[in-house]
Amino acid sequence: MKNLNSVFAAYLAGWGIFFVYYISIARRTAALRDEIERLKNALNRGK
Amino acid sequence: MKKHALASAVVFLLLGAAAYGALFVAPTEKTMGTIQRIFYLHVSSAWTGLTAFFICFIANLIYVWRREPRWDWLAVSAAEVGLVFTTVVLVTGPIWAHPVWGIWWTWDARLTSTFVLWLLYISYLLLRTLVEEPDRRALFSALFGVFAFLDVPLVFGSIRWWRTQHPQPVVMGGSGSGLEPTMWYVLLFSWGAMLSLMALLLRARYEFEAVRGETDLLQREAEGM
């Protein structure tokens, strides 16, 4: 099975890119939700 | 949240099944051998990336017409997701090319037009960071997004119109093109799995953009206090 390492490298790289991107969206969304909570609290205190 | 986890699990299973099909079900190609199995990831990612850019193009046109923020959110989400799929294409292509061509990269029409496409959508995302006012940002990026999509027909046609180092098309490539039936089934299944991944990523990215819209509103409200 010549070049099997290259095949695995391609699949690992491809899946890795998708996985890192999915995690980055989840983290960015969670950070924004925290920011919304903070802003809502600040606005409530200001009223 | 539970629905989201279930959708992620289904997509993960589909991707696993697609990889199994590519590695163990599809027959070994006669000329290139095992390395050709990258084809199922490479081509399905390329088709899915172009699909995402098409969604971005349509959303940009609708935004210019209706000026509703949700179309801008969909456009930027599709652009970013398309960029991720195109990145996978640009990474897996050289890994496949090196053992077959003896080089990682060549500036032929297909590779160059794909790289230019990648740069155009990077520019699209960068442009959005340069304009602060949301309506102007959405309009400028929608117009630029329509322009960026002009490269997609070039990417599609490059291996049909010019002689390239990149292999000739297997779909709509005229006489002599095509695939062995099992290869076709595995390729179509892989594309289906990639489309389901695109839908999952698009949904998550759109949700992020909607939350960002809400954050912007609250920030402006807080600043006006």
ipTM of the complex, rounded to two decimals? 0.91
CB contact under 8 A, A18 and B91: no
Say if B149 falls within a structural domain: yes
Tally of domains within chain B: 1
Compare CB distances from A13 to B91, B197, B222 and report the shortest one's residue.
B91
Say if B217 falls within a structural domain: no
CB contact under 8 A, B41 and A36: no
CB contact under 8 A, B201 and A15: no
Residue ranges per structural domain of chain A: 1-47
Could you report the per-residue pLDDT of A1-47, keeping only the tens digit for each? 678 899 999 999 999 999 999 999 999 999 999 999 998 888 888 76
State the distance between the two ends of chain A, measured CA to CA, in whole angstroms.
70
Chain B contacts of A9, Cβ < 8 Å? 95
Look up the domain containing B141 and give its range: 37-167+180-212
CA B201 to CA A5: how far, in whole Å? 28
Could you report the per-residue pLDDT of B53-95, keeping only the tens digit for each? 999 999 999 999 999 999 999 999 999 999 999 999 999 999 9
String of DSSP letters for B2-47:
HHHHHHHHHHHHHHHHHHHIIIIISPPBTTTBGGGGGHHHHHHHHH
Say if B68 falls within a structural domain: yes
